Amino acid sequence: MDRAESALSRLRTACSAEKGQETVQASPPLAPTHVGVGRTVAKIILFGEHSVVYGYPAIALPLRNLRMTARVTPTPGPSMLASLGWSGPLDQAPDRFSSIVRAVEATLDFIGRPDAHLSITTLSDFPAERGLGSSAAAAGAVIRAILDAFDVEADAEDLFELTQTAERVAHGHPSGLDATATSSATPIHFQSGQATPVQVNLATWIVVADSGVHGSTRETVGHVREQHERSPETTRPLLERLGEITQQAIADVQLGDVQGLGRKMNEAHALLAQLGVSDDHLDALTEAARAAGAVGAKLTGGGRGGCVIALADSAASAARITEALGAAGATGTWVYAPHAYEVAA
C-alpha cells in the first residue's frame, strides 16, 4: 500500500463511527455540492535547490502575492480542464498537464469517488516552468479544490502526500520542498521531508527576475543525478558545499547578516553553475544584478531557464537592480520588501 492509499484508508477509518451496535459509514457526497476552491502560492528557494534532493537542507520563501487558484464544479459529461490557456477533456490534456491529471485521480481515489465528473480550472498570477513552483502549486490548489467541493477534510500529511504523488509525475523524484513551500504560511527550513518555520530577520529587499526561458526541473534534476552517478568524486563535494552554505545561511537569515547572505548566494550560484544547471541567461542576469549593486544573486529553482533572485540593501537599490535586470533581458520582475516575506499573512 503506497502512502496515498494508506491516507485513503485513514480517511475511511475516520469516516466510520460506531453508534451503539450499528456502524455508520459517513461518505462524501456522490458529486460536489458547491464550487470547490483551492489556493496555493508561488515560492522561491533562497538556498538549497538540487542539493535538497540529496538530503541537504534548503530555505524557501512562499510568495503570498503570487497566487494559484483552482475551482472545481460538477459536470454531467467527461471531466474537463482549463489551465494555462488550454481547455478540453481532462483525459486528452497535453503532457504538460500530466501532474494535474495525476492530482485529480489521486484525490478522487483518496475520497473514494474515482468516477466523479468534474470541471476544473486553474488561474495563476505567476508563469509556469520558471522555478517558482508552479507544478506543485497547481497540483496543490486542484487537490484542495476537490476536497473542498466534496467537503472532505485532509490533514497536512495527506495534502503533502497527494501533492507529492502529482509532483512525482512532474519531477520524477521531488524532494518535497515545492509541495511544502507552495502551501506554507511562513518561510521554511526543509530537510529530508521535514519542514520547520524559519524566523527571517532581514532588512533586505529581494528582487525576483524571470529570464523568460522555460526550465525543465525534471531535466536538470536528471542531469545532476547522472553526473552524480558518473563522477561522484567531483559532484559530491559541490552538493556538500551547497549543503554547508545553506546551513550557515539559516543563521544569517535569523541574525540579519545581509552581507554574509549575499556572499553565500554568489557562491551558491557558482556551485550550481558547476553542477551544470545554470545557463547564459541566468549568468547574465545575476551578473547584471551584482553590477547594479546587489549584495548577492543566484538562480532559484530547477535552473536552465526560470528565475534569478537578487538581494538589495535598500528600496532604492532594489529599484536600480530591477532596472538593470530588465535591461539585461528579464521578462518580468517582482520586488519583495522585508515585511513581505518575514511574517505570515
Question: Are 9 and 2 within 8 A, CB to CB?
Answer: no
Compute how many residues bind ligand PMV; rule: CB under 6 A: 16
Would you state the cell numbers that stand for residue 227, as one nine-digit string?
553526473
Supply the DSSP symbol for 174.
-
Tell me the one-letter amino acid at 216: S
Q: Given the complex with ligand PMV, which of 146 and 181 has the nearer CB atom?
A: 181
Q: How many CB atoms lie within 10 A of CB 294?
A: 29
Minimal CA–CA distance to 99: which of 152, 31, 171, 156? 171
Q: Given the complex with ligand PMV, which of 242 and 258 has the nearer CB atom?
A: 242
Site for ligand PMV in 206-235 (CB under 6 A): 217, 221
Strand partners, 41: 67
State the minimum distance, in angstroms, from the CB of residue 220 to ligand PMV: 6
CA 287/CA 329 separation, integer angstroms: 12
**Burial class of 82 by CB neighbour count within 10 A (0 to 12, 13 to 18, 19+):** middle
Q: Given the complex with ligand PMV, which of 217 and 322 has the nearer CB atom?
A: 217
Print the binding letters for residues 176-195 with ligand PMV: x by CB under 6 A, - otherwise. -xx-----------------
Q: How many secondary structure helices (H) and strands (E) does the chain include?
A: 11, 13
Supply the DSSP symbol for 258.
H
Contacts of residue 96, defined as CB under 8 A and 6 or more positions apart, other chains included, come to 84, 128
Establish if 52 lies at the interface with ligand PMV (CB under 6 A). Answer: yes
Catalytic positions are: 178
Q: Given the complex with ligand PMV, which of 36 and 301 has the nearer CB atom?
A: 301
Would you state the cell numbers that stand for residue 317, as one nine-digit string?
537599490
Of 32, 36, 38, 133, the residue at the interface with ligand PMV (CB under 6 A) is 133
Establish if 131 lies at the interface with ligand PMV (CB under 6 A). Answer: yes
Establish if 50 lies at the interface with ligand PMV (CB under 6 A). Answer: yes
CA 176/CA 112 separation, integer angstroms: 25
Of 141, 302, 324, 330, the residue at the interface with ligand PMV (CB under 6 A) is 302
Looking at 172-180, 244-252, 291-299, 333-341, which segment touches ligand PMV (CB under 6 A)? 172-180
Looking at 18-26, 73-81, 127-135, 191-199, which segment touches ligand PMV (CB under 6 A)? 127-135
Helix 315-327, helix 280-291: angle, nearest 10 = 140
Contacts of residue 233, defined as CB under 8 A and 6 or more positions apart, other chains included, come to none
Establish if 174 lies at the interface with ligand PMV (CB under 6 A). Answer: yes
Q: Given the complex with ligand PMV, which of 180 and 186 has the nearer CB atom?
A: 180
CA 127/CA 143 separation, integer angstroms: 20
Print the binding letters for residues 250-289 with ligand PMV: x by CB under 6 A, - otherwise. ----------------------------------------
Q: Given the complex with ligand PMV, which of 52 and 159 has the nearer CB atom?
A: 52
State the minimum distance, in angstroms, from the CB of residue 72 to ligand PMV: 24
Of 40, 79, 107, 175, the residue at the interface with ligand PMV (CB under 6 A) is 175
State the minimum distance, in angstroms, from the CB of residue 12 to ligand PMV: 30
Point out which residues bind ligand PMV (CB under 6 A): 49-50, 52-53, 131-133, 171, 174-175, 177-178, 217, 221, 301-302
